[in-house]
Amino acid sequence: MSNIKLDELLISLSRALDLLSPKVSEHHHRVTLIAMRLGEGLGLSEEDRVKLFRTALFHDIGVVTSKDKLMIMDFFYTASSAHTAYGRTLLNESSFFTDISDLVFHHHDRWLGPNKSEVIKDDIPLISQIVGLADRIEVLLTSDKYILIQQEPILKKISEFTGTWFNPKLIEQLKKSSRPEYFWLDLSDRFLHEKVEALAPGKEVYLSLDDVLSIVQIFTLLVDNKSRFMKTHSQSVHELTMKLAAARNFNDEDLKKIKIASLMHDLGKLSIPDDILEKPSVLTKEEYNIIKRHPYYTCQIIRSVKGLEEISHWASTHHERLNGSGYPFKLKGDDVPLAARIIAVADVFTALHEDRPYRKKLPKEQAIRLLEQQAKQELLDGEIVETLKKVIAD
């Protein structure tokens, strides 16, 4: 039986949503902690607590650009439905999330409206109301001041909107739940992750690799949507990887792992600012150094999930090169796993054959010539480049 835990994967993927800027670090995890404390106090059923947990973990999944991300961190952000609507659309792509997609859609609805969703008061799902309140509390927190000094002013600020933005019943609960100091102390970075893990409700659910695939597909869409130049990148790399892998003797389980690794290879790009991804000229050394962190982040996010260690290794070594000149682990020769060498060939070919902000896409023949050169220089695996030539010719 698989040892991949659903909650571990969800907690880890939620963290990936906050990689972009240190200013918004751990927003989703803190919102989850606050929301779960409120849910406990309100006596929600176990089924509702499961939904609350997941809604909080992914409530801002629809935020695409760095600019949007900073905008929604402003307390007075006037909710445009863009990220809530896109969040709902994305979540509907996986059967694991359809039951929370509407809850995410409503998380910025205000008690008295007006709301784009056209519902107000008790017609707004309670779970969305709780996440919405937790979200506005979280954006008021600052790492510059000791947490217990912030307790009073935050509660005061939130209370000003009782009955207009927030359901009075929830504010009453907030006052009760947040009285003990631990409510606030838990929110500091130091113990946050242990707390989020400990609050995961429901029974332990274990996932098959097909389940993992269904969940991570959403993140592939999210990564590809970050830049118009990558619109289909992960998907295309994935398709080509599978054609190249078919020419080798992988067993079914390994093929599934390669599938997941190729779909997730650029997950860490969620940490790269849009202006770098969209820059219309060649990157500076400093910008290139920022790009270099993406496979490292891919590794960190997936590796923390037990059972996905190998997938994490394959996904995060796609920029390693056989002569040891790649990044970020400086692996060499046979230490670069075969699956990663396949993804690397698919990745380089796909990138050359796609438009970039600073150049048009190269014709296939020219791209192949460049790949052959890279194989000669011991960057890419020559045998895989040969397979690619056959695959492309078919």
Give whichever of 167 and 298 is closer to Fe ion, judged by the CB atom: 298
Report DSSP state, residue 360. Answer: P
CA–CA separation, 133 and 117 (whole Å): 17
Shortest gap between Cβ of 1 and Fe ion (angstroms)? 33
Binding string, residues 353-372; x marks residues near Fe ion by CB under 5 A? --------------------
Omega before 357 within 30 of 0, i.e. cis: no
CA–CA separation, 307 and 67 (whole Å): 35
Q: Which of residues 139-168 bind Fe ion (CB under 5 A)?
A: none
Give whichever of 4 and 127 is closer to Fe ion, judged by the CB atom: 127
Check binding of 266 to Fe ion (CB under 5 A).
yes
Report DSSP state, residue 162. Answer: B
Q: Which of residues 4-63 bind Fe ion (CB under 5 A)?
A: 60
Question: Residue 65's CB: how many other CB atoms inside 10 A?
Answer: 18
Check binding of 320 to Fe ion (CB under 5 A).
no
Q: Which residue matches tokens 């009760």?
A: 176
CA–CA separation, 283 and 286 (whole Å): 8
Residues 6+ apart with CB under 8 A from 152: none
Check binding of 109 to Fe ion (CB under 5 A).
no
Check binding of 135 to Fe ion (CB under 5 A).
yes
Number of residues that bind Fe ion (CB under 5 A): 4
Shortest gap between Cβ of 204 and Fe ion (angstroms)? 27
Give whichever of 4 and 34 is closer to Fe ion, judged by the CB atom: 34
Give whichever of 4 and 322 is closer to Fe ion, judged by the CB atom: 322
Shortest gap between Cβ of 265 and Fe ion (angstroms)? 6
Residues 6+ apart with CB under 8 A from 41: 173, 176, 177
Token readout for 69 is: 């991300």
Give whichever of 135 and 186 is closer to Fe ion, judged by the CB atom: 135
Shortest gap between Cβ of 313 and Fe ion (angstroms)? 15
Distances in Å between the Cα of 74 and the Cα atoms of 57, 70, 107, 135 are 19, 7, 15, 11
Using the rule CB under 5 A, give the single segment among 64-72, 158-166, 188-196, 330-338 that binds Fe ion.
Answer: 64-72
- H-helix or E-strand containing 207? strand 206-207
Report helix, strand or coil for 192.
helix
Give whichever of 86 and 184 is closer to Fe ion, judged by the CB atom: 86
Using the rule CB under 5 A, give the single segment among 14-22, 130-138, 212-220, 284-292 that binds Fe ion.
Answer: 130-138
Give whichever of 205 and 353 is closer to Fe ion, judged by the CB atom: 353
Bridge partners, residue 5, by sequence: 206
Using the rule CB under 5 A, give the single segment among 127-135, 235-243, 280-288, 370-378 that binds Fe ion.
Answer: 127-135
Token readout for 3 is: 């040892």
Task: Name which of 35, 66, 28 is nearest 51 in CA terms.
Answer: 35
Token readout for 102 is: 């509407």
Give whichever of 83 and 257 is closer to Fe ion, judged by the CB atom: 83
Shortest gap between Cβ of 196 and Fe ion (angstroms)? 15
Binding string, residues 215-254; x marks residues near Fe ion by CB under 5 A? ----------------------------------------
Give whichever of 5 and 108 is closer to Fe ion, judged by the CB atom: 108
CA–CA separation, 287 and 276 (whole Å): 7
Shortest gap between Cβ of 281 and Fe ion (angstroms)? 20
CA–CA separation, 268 and 92 (whole Å): 23
Query: Where along the sequence are the contacts to Fe ion (CB under 5 A)?
Result: 60, 72, 135, 266
